[in-house]
Amino acid sequence: MSKTYDHLFKLLLIGDSGVGKTCLLFRFAEDSFNNSFISTIGIDFKIRTIDLDGKKIKLQIW
């Protein structure tokens, strides 16, 4: 199986409860916003692939 990206970066969002980490994650990964989020229990992550200087960069955002 061949990779569909040139580089993989894993990013971790940390912060106090209720500050908007999940909102930031959804806004960046899916370009959506929902102002009625409940607190995340456990772990959630999204993936976004971007093009930068002709390279495909895969971002795993936790």
Task: Show me where the domains of the chain are located.
Answer: 7-61
| Spatial strand order in the sheet of 46-52 | 7-11, 55-61, 46-52
Kindly report whether the global pTM for this prediction surpasses the value 0.85.
no
pLDDT tens figures, 3-58: 899 999 999 999 999 899 999 999 999 999 887 778 888 888 999 999 999 999 99
| Helix (H) or strand (E) run with residue 17 in it | none
